[in-house]
Chains A and B, each alone.
Chain A
Amino acid sequence: MERDDIIEYSLDGHHSEEQGVKIRKKIWMVTLLLTVVTAVEVILGAMVKQGSGAWLTVKILFIALTLLKAGYIVMVFMHLGDERKSLKWVILLPYALFIVYLMFIAFTEGSAVHLAM
């Protein structure tokens, strides 16, 4: 009995030469972005001293830039951006929830341990 209500996936995500040119252009743009962001991070890291007035801002900026880089790697290089929405959420949401919660309890506990010592 053949079923016609199921969606076939194709193993071969083929694309044409013209599409390839576009995709490669995007890849090189992302490369440029990742390189520039890394260079900015290193220059800031070498210039701004930890614990100085600007440090908190720089620290938050580092984390934001890291998430930006991670986003481009996952969405463009790993093609998660091209997958179905359901797959995106299944991969990202449980992980994000768990890690944010783990960070919260671990850092709260770490600070408490420091105060107790």
Chain B
Amino acid sequence: MAGHATKEIDSATLWGGKGSPFSASYGKLMMWFFLVSDALTFGGLLVAYGYTRYSTQGTWPIGEETFEALPFLGNGYPLAYVALMTFILIVSSVTMVLAVEAGHRMDKKGVIKWMLATIIGGFFFLGSQAWEWSHFIHGTPFGKVTLNDGSVAVVKGDFGAIENFEVIEAGHHHAVGDLVTEDLLHEFQHAAQAGHLHGTADNLTIHLHDGSVAKVNKAADENLQLIIKEAGTKHAISSAADESTRVTAEEGAVAEYYEALTKGAVIYGANMTQNEYGPDQYGQFFFFITGFHGFHVFSGVIINIIIFLGVLRGIYHQRGHYEMVEKTGLYWHFVDLVWVFVFTFFYLI
């Protein structure tokens, strides 16, 4: 029996493609579809973050309280560092689009110049993120404490410098009267977490590793404030809008803080399970979302370098078009696009 198709169409016309409803090349179209799927992953992560925030409400950390440090300058610059990171990424996105534009004019030198700038920008962003992670992981000198009444507090203020540990009971290594002067903050925090600090704010003793006991000679902390994140029997949650709801030094914050410290009820910085900034999920989302984005930046830099080498060798010039630069550019802009959303939902809101 005869089928419907009686007219013969040669296979090149039938299966050879060529028809292009979107008027875009196969490669570009597939890059767009990949980016949509990748955007769904990031969308899912950010929505999960939002879900967790909705379900924890007031205990969630505030961006401008958590991220306020700058390299070499210390604390007190809310959001300045992330703003810088955002700016670096925007600029590298601009240099990328300029490389694509140069490619459209078959200007090989222009493509080389702007792609090189993009790659450098990518490395700058990765370096900034490394510092940010390191700072997040190491945390503040104060840490987060669980107070006597069961409330949990984040601490703000100027940490008084530790001058030395003056040994008052000899151990295996230290004799009475020895002064320990190295790695003081690290030792101090380590001892606090292990419950090896004793006494009160102006009369602290520390049990060192070798079994010796030393007096902690430390300047007084200034402007110490406790921001209550989880309510206990005595303290209610501090409002982010109203600083007077924090527990100040006049209200006995110093004594309460050091009481917690000598009980070992303190967390410094962040690790995979806990962090000093807020609920445990906060650190996990920080590592996963900024980490997954950072991994995209890293792979973007690698892809850019590969295409850059192709440009240098003149492969695309010979081909007559720089569409490869355009496609890698799509990926690079996407990385910038994701950061715009991460910046808003993780740091600003």
Contacts and interface: CB of A to CB of B under 8 A. Distances in A.
Report which residue of A6, A110, A114 has the largest number of chain B beta carbons within 10 angstroms of its beta carbon. A110
A73 B241 contact: no
A55 B96 CA distance: 36
A3 B14 CA distance: 10
B104 A13 contact: yes
A9 B21 CA distance: 9
A46 B96 CA distance: 30
B252 to A, nearest CB: 25
11 contacts: A14-B105, A35-B87, A38-B86, A41-B343, A42-B79, A51-B240, A51-B242, A52-B242, A55-B241, A83-B24, A87-B24
Contacts of A16: 105
B347 A106 contact: no
Given A1-B13, A45-B63, A46-B79, A59 B349 contact: yes
Interface residues of B, number: 71
Given A6-B18, A20-B105, A70 B337 contact: yes
A27 B36 CA distance: 24
Given A55-B241, A73-B340, A77-B94, 16 more contacts: A7-B23, A12-B323, A14-B321, A20-B105, A23-B101, A28-B94, A41-B348, A42-B83, A45-B348, A50-B240, A73-B337, A76-B97, A78-B333, A84-B23, A86-B21, A110-B53
Interface in A1-56: 1-3, 6-9, 11-17, 20, 23-24, 27-28, 30-31, 34-35, 38-39, 41-42, 45-46, 49-53, 55
Contacts, number: 185
Contacts of A2: 13
Contacts of A31: 90-91, 94
A22 to B, nearest CB: 10
A90 B29 CA distance: 11
Contacts of A109: 51, 55
A1 B241 contact: no
A82 B199 CA distance: 70
Report which residue of A35, A42, A59 has the largest number of chain B beta carbons within 10 angstroms of its beta carbon. A42
Interface stretch (B37-45, B182-190, B212-220, B222-230): B37-45
Contacts of A95: 36, 39-40, 43
Given A38-B90, A45-B79, A45-B347, A9 B101 contact: no
A7 to B, nearest CB: 6
Interface residues of A, number: 68
Contact of A98 (B9, B40, B55, B321): B40
Interface of A: 1-3, 6-9, 11-17, 20, 23-24, 27-28, 30-31, 34-35, 38-39, 41-42, 45-46, 49-53, 55, 59, 62-63, 65-66, 69-70, 73-74, 76-79, 83-84, 86-87, 90-91, 94-95, 98-99, 102-103, 106-107, 109-111, 113-114, 117
B105 A17 contact: yes
Nearest to B347: A45
A13 B44 CA distance: 34
A9 B63 contact: no
Contacts of A102: 43-44, 47
B20 interface: yes
B10 interface: yes
B25 interface: yes
A34 B86 CA distance: 10
B240 A1 contact: no
Contacts of A94: 36
Given A91-B32, A106-B51, A3 B341 contact: no
Contacts of A51: 239-242
B163 interface: no
B303 to A, nearest CB: 16
Interface string B95-115: 011101100111000000000
Interface string B71-103: 000000011101100110011011011101100
